[in-house]
């Protein structure tokens, strides 16, 4: 796992990738291009995905596996990337931890809050690092907004968040709209990024949610739109809106404090004072690491990664409660207490 470089020990991390779809391919490229990481094996159930992985990552046929169990058993690894449909994450992250590996898992951690809580407890009691692929934690605008809120002595008085895209047009008929694989639809996918981003930047803890969804199926598992009214600790309320039927992608979070409004997305932060005057804090976008850079930095330093299992548990708990509320027509409590 390490090499000598001018008398200094330089860690070299050997990765396995579970799931070489679009995201797995992106992360595989980041590992390939990082000077101290390498991909030694890939697992994917699809033969074409394995072929692409071998070609892109210069892997022999012997390093390409149909199952993640084969990959973990055969290769000498330091870490594993889990980039598969959401409902598979729990068993694959668990298998990685059982093998003594650090894990980079695409969001969400899983789609069952009880299982997410179990993983949080296990990770926090271990010496393993588990990072979630919530890229807004690496984004300069989101980090700037989070820092301003953390440094403010003002109380947050209201929040709203919105994200939309032509999700049903883009992903209808794929695993993302198969609830057995995705957990739901747009709210558990794109919407989970927004929910996590809101909770992470503000530090707010949700305690209950009332939600309405436009379901596309009789079983009420696949939704194209969602409107959430969330109550947070201290009695603060806020709203989250997710749409999968708009003609283009939009994203916005607004946080009001006692003295100002902070409005942000992935590209900018706008601060508006009580008189309506606006200013935009400087964002040094050159500081935004990619996922592998951030993961390796955390491993090198032995520190908590930018997006943790607990971060994802909070987002999963709120998301799952929203689905329950939309199906039952009642407000649903959210339990974030330790197991």
Could you give the CA distance from residue 76 to residue 229 in angstroms, rounded to a whole number? 47
Residue 80 CB partners (closer than 8 Å, separation 6+):
15, 16, 17, 18, 71, 72, 92, 96, 99, 101, 102, 103, 104
| Tokens linked to 238 | 């806020």
Cis peptide before 224 (omega within 30 of 0): no
Domain regions of the chain by residue span: 2-135, 136-284+309-333
Cβ pair 18, 83 in contact under 8 A: yes
Neighbours of 192 (CB within 10 A): 25
CATH 3.40.50.11540 fits 2-135, yes or no: no
Q: Is 235 helix (H, G, I), strand (E, B) or coil?
A: helix
pLDDT of the chain, 339 residues: tens digit per residue: 655 455 555 669 999 999 999 999 999 999 999 999 999 999 999 999 999 999 999 999 999 999 999 999 999 999 999 999 999 999 999 999 999 999 999 999 999 999 999 999 999 999 999 999 999 999 999 999 999 999 999 999 999 999 999 999 999 999 999 999 999 999 999 999 999 999 999 999 999 999 999 999 999 999 999 999 999 999 999 999 999 999 999 999 999 999 999 999 999 999 999 999 999 999 877 779 999 999 999 999 999 999 999 999 999 999 999 999 999 999 999 999 755
The reply to whether 2-135 and 136-284+309-333 are identical in fold is no
Element (H, E) at 227: strand 223-232
CATH 3.30.360.10 fits 136-284+309-333, yes or no: yes
| Tokens linked to 102 | 């650090």
């Amino acid at each position: 796992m390490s090499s000598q470089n001018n008398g200094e020990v330089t860690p070299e991390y050997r990765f396995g990738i579970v799931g070489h779809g679009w995201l797995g391919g992106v992360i595989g490229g980041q590992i390939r291009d990082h000077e101290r990481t390498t991909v030694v094996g890939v697992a994917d159930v699809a033969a074409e995905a394995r072929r692409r992985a071998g070609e892109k990552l210069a892997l022999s046929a012997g390093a390409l596996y149909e199952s993640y169990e084969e990959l973990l058993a055969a290769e000498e690894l330091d870490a594993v990337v889990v980039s598969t449909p959401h409902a598979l994450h729990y068993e694959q992250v668990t298998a990685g931890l059982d093998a003594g590996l650090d894990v980079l898992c695409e969001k969400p951690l899983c789609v069952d809050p009880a299982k997410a809580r179990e993983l949080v407890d296990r990770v926090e009691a271990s010496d393993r690092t588990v990072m979630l692929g919530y890229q807004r934690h690496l984004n300069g605008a989101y980090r700037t907004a989070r820092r301003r809120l953390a440094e403010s002595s003002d109380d947050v008085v209201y929040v709203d968040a919105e994200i939309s895209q032509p999700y049903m047009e883009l992903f209808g008929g794929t695993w993302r709209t198969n609830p057995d694989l995705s957990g739901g639809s747009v709210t558990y996918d794109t919407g989970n990024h927004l929910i996590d981003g809101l909770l992470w930047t503000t530090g707010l803890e949700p305690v209950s949610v009332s939600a309405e969804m436009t379901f596309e199926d009789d079983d009420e598992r696949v939704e194209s739109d969602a409107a959430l009214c969330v109550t947070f600790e201290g009695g603060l309320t806020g709203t989250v809106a997710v749409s999968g039927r708009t003609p283009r992608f939009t994203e916005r979070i607004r946080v009001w404090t006692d003295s100002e409004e902070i409005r942000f997305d992935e590209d900018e932060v706008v601060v508006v004072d009580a008189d309506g005057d606006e200013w935009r804090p400087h964002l040094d976008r050159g500081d935004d690491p990619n996922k592998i850079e951030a993961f390796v930095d955390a491993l090198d330093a032995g520190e908590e990664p930018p997006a943790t299992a607990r971060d994802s548990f909070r987002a999963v708990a709120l998301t799952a409660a929203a689905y329950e509320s939309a199906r039952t027509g009642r407000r649903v409590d959210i339990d974030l207490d330790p197991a």
